[in-house]
Amino acid sequence: MSLKIEQLTGGYAGVPVIHDLNLTIEPGEAVGLIGLNGAGKSTTIKHILGLLRPQKGKIVLDGKELAANPTAFKQKVAYIPELPILYRELTLKEHLEMTMLAYGLDPKETWPRAEELLKMFRLDNKLDWLPIHFSKGMQQKVMIVTAFLPATELLVVDEPFTGLDPLAVANLLKLIKQAKDDGRMVLMTTHVLADAQQVVSSYAVLNNGTIETTGSLEEIREHYGLQPADSVDKLYEVLSKEQANV
């Protein structure tokens, strides 16, 4: 059981944005996909979620190829988007019920888990609220709760810390650590590397649509000539200079 991205090339309207990406995530591993804005992170995620069709290559999860078995593939994936996506007409309770229905979860068995997550993010007394009543941070917490409700093989987490208070960030990191301990796979994009370091096993650096290097943070530092004392944010300065020279 693993996620394998092989020779993935894709983009929009026939124009490639990402080129020949190769990446493998094993059970119990969290990979940080990092890079500057425009490097191709969102395009990569949209391909993994089946929102874009590859121009070349394939994506396989637990033996299921996305192109050949889209429904079976997507049942194995949960997603936390950078910007919350909620239905205006549905209450929080109805969002949870819809998630259970989408993943074929037994409500009686799943509601205790839902209540645990709701209490963790202080949403347990807001089941009848509509999205209009939620702040940006609270909407993001709803996305987190719905993503961790099913025990999917793969979690795709896109810039998850935006708008979250420190307690919510700590709880999200706790959930990701638990997912890893349970043998699940995590793909995370974030610019907040200080938080990501607490859960990420290895990194893949995306630059100008290609994965330049993969490895631990120490290996990434060495690849780009950074010193141990350098802030991890200095990596973005190096990538910016590279991009300017292209």
pLDDT tens, N- to C-terminus, the chain (246 residues)? 899 999 999 999 888 999 999 999 999 999 999 988 888 999 999 999 999 999 999 999 999 999 999 999 999 999 999 999 999 999 999 999 999 999 999 999 999 999 999 999 999 999 999 999 999 999 999 999 999 999 999 999 998 888 899 999 999 999 999 999 999 999 999 887 778 888 998 999 999 899 999 998 889 888 888 887 777 778 888 887 766 555
CA-CA distance, 230 to 232, in Å (whole number)? Answer: 6
pLDDT of 138 reads 96
CA-CA distance, 160 to 179, in Å (whole number)? Answer: 15
What is the residue extent of each domain of the chain?
A: 28-39+79-245
Architecture (CATH level 2) of domain 28-39+79-245: 3-Layer(aba) Sandwich (3.40)
**167: its two tokens:** 């307690």
Main-chain dihedrals φ then ψ at residue 41, nearest 5 degrees: -65, -50
pLDDT of 197 reads 85
pLDDT of 243 reads 61
